[in-house]
Amino acid sequence: MPHDPQQPGAVDDEDVDALADSLVAWTEAHGLGAAAPAVAVGDDAEQLEPATATVDAGDDVLTVEEVAALLKLGRNSVYDAVGRREIPHARIGKQIRFSRTAIMRWLSSCEAADKEHR
């Protein structure tokens, strides 16, 4: 399927590069290491899955809805955490995206901090 940047949900090379750079910078700034590259792009890139899609363990870039499902939280709780800058994320225009690797590392660091406070 040819890449059409005008199609809703389509991802172009610049968006992916910006997301990857942003996630790498955030994770390195927070001592979490570098995030894996986001998604494959190019002529064979496909449209993003709808928000109702299930979370596949191989997906490197997640939507708000997918992070909510992964963390078993409501969508608004994820938006609240983003607004408080508590959860690693990147913005592409009005869209919010997450690195699965950064989310899992963040979750592990939260669990470790909870254990220290017990």
HSE-up of 41 (CA within 13 Å, CB side)?
A: 18
Which pLDDT belongs to residue 36?
38
pLDDT of residue 53: 43
DSSP 61: E
Dist. CA 75–CA 86, nearest whole Å = 15
pLDDT of residue 47: 41
Average pLDDT across each block of 10 residues of the chain; the chain has 118 residues. List them in order.
53 65 65 42 40 56 95 96 95 94 92 78
Contact in structure between 66 and 59 (CB atoms under 8 Å): yes
